[in-house]
């Protein structure tokens, strides 16, 4: 019994040592962090682009975690990854799925943002997919039809251009237009050459006229200043006169003199009208010769 008990203890210790060695080897070769505290993050991508569980996650180029879940959600893919607890990730950070090697393999590259707030496990990071070789070839395949259509249209355009250029009427009209342009250019050059002296004289005259106008303005500036000052004095005098007239009319309106009565007394106005009518009749008689006055010296 004692020997069997010793044998079982030896076998148990051997198995425990083997499991420890196995976990140690996995932690080295598979980069498992046994006993290290980690933080889970969620990233939403438009597609997985071949990303698999266990692929690398890097933060600003530094290897910092592993992908542990890739789930399809309607029109997007939700990727969940473990990040070492000591790695700081900003709240406005974003991620991209990139090629790990030229012939295959993917990784998630997280680019830190500028926010001072930390990304938490309840947040969902925005993710994009960088096109790889397969994606680029797919894009080229999708563009193949467009390239063929574009080439056909380019060929049709060249045929139309050849048809237009090969038309004798078009060639003749183009030749005539070029000749007319050449003749017009020669005529313009000749006209400028013939009128060069006149242009110089006109320019000199304009310069002289400008100088004379400047001199005239300089000479008449004192007189204009005096005229402005006199105008200001006249306007001041006119304003004073208007003020006096206003005051005079106000005094007439407020007084009880004959002028005020003549303006407001209806009886006096009627008498004045009768007197003016009689004076008018008398002047008519005098002018008509009905009344003769002889004066003898």
Give domain limits for the chain.
Answer: 29-130, 137-167, 258-288
The closest alpha carbon to 111, from 150, 174, 54, 61, belongs to 61
Task: Tell me if 97 sits within 8 A of 103, measured CB to CB.
Answer: no
Per-residue pLDDT of the chain (297 residues; tens, 9 = 90+): 556 666 667 667 777 777 677 665 555 444 445 455 788 899 999 988 888 898 999 999 889 899 999 999 888 999 999 998 888 888 899 999 988 776 668 899 999 988 889 888 889 999 998 876 555 555 555 566 666 777 777 878 887 777 777 778 877 888 888 888 888 888 888 887 778 778 788 888 888 888 888 888 888 888 888 888 888 888 888 788 888 787 777 766 666 665 565 566 667 667 777 777 777 776 666 665 544 444 443
Alpha carbon of 251 to those of 134, 255, 256: distances in Å? 107, 6, 10
Residue 172 has a CB neighbour count (10 Å cut-off) of 10
Q: Write down the pLDDT at residue 214.
A: 86
Task: Tell me if 39 sits within 8 A of 83, measured CB to CB.
Answer: yes
Q: Write down the pLDDT at residue 242.
A: 81
Q: Which residues of 9-18 are buried (b: 16+ CB within 10 A; e: fewer)?
A: eeeeeeeeee
Q: Write down the pLDDT at residue 291.
A: 45
The pTM for the full model equals 0.38
Q: Write down the pLDDT at residue 78.
A: 93
Q: For residues 186 and 194, what is the distance between their CA atoms, to the nearest angstrom? A: 12
Q: For residues 224 and 228, what is the distance between their CA atoms, to the nearest angstrom? A: 6
- The residues, ordered by sequence, that sit 6+ positions from 129 with a Cβ below 8 Å of its Cβ are 45, 46, 47, 49, 96, 97, 135
Q: Write down the pLDDT at residue 32.
A: 47
Q: For residues 224 and 219, what is the distance between their CA atoms, to the nearest angstrom? A: 10
Q: Write down the pLDDT at residue 88.
A: 87
Task: Tell me if 113 sits within 8 A of 97, measured CB to CB.
Answer: no
Both tokens of 80, joined, read 């969940």
Both tokens of 98, joined, read 């990139």
């Amino acid at each position: 019994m004692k020997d069997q008990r010793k044998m079982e203890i030896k076998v148990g210790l051997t198995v425990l040592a083997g499991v420890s060695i196995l976990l140690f080897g996995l932690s080295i070769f598979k980069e498992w962090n046994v006993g290290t505290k980690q933080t889970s993050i969620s990233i939403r991508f438009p597609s997985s682009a071949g990303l698999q569980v266990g692929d690398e996650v890097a933060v600003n180029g530094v290897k910092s975690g592993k992908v542990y879940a890739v789930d399809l959600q309607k029109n997007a893919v939700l990727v969940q990854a473990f990040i070492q607890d000591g790695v700081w990730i900003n709240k406005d950070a974003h991620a991209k799925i990139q090629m790990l090697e030229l012939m295959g393999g993917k990784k998630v590259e997280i680019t830190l943002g500028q926010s001072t707030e930390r990304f938490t496990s309840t947040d969902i990071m925005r993710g994009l997919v960088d096109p790889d070789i397969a994606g680029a070839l797919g894009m080229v395949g999708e563009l193949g039809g467009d390239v063929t259509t574009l080439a056909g249209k380019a060929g049709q355009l060249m045929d139309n251009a050849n048809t237009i250029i090969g038309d004798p009427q078009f060639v003749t009209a183009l030749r005539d237009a070029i000749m007319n342009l050449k003749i017009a250019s020669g005529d313009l050059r000749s006209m400028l050459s013939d009128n060069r002296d006149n242009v110089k004289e006109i320019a000199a005259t304009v310069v002289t006229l400008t100088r004379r106008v400047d001199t005239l303005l300089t000479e008449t500036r004192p007189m204009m200043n005096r005229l402005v000052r006199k105008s200001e004095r006249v306007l001041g005098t006119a304003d004073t006169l208007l003020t006096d007239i206003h005051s005079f009319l106000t005094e007439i309106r407020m007084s009880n003199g004959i002028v005020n009565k003549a303006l407001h007394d209806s009886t006096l106005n009627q008498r004045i009208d009768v007197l003016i009518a009689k004076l008018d009749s008398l002047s008519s008689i005098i002018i008509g010769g009905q009344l003769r006055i002889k004066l003898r010296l």
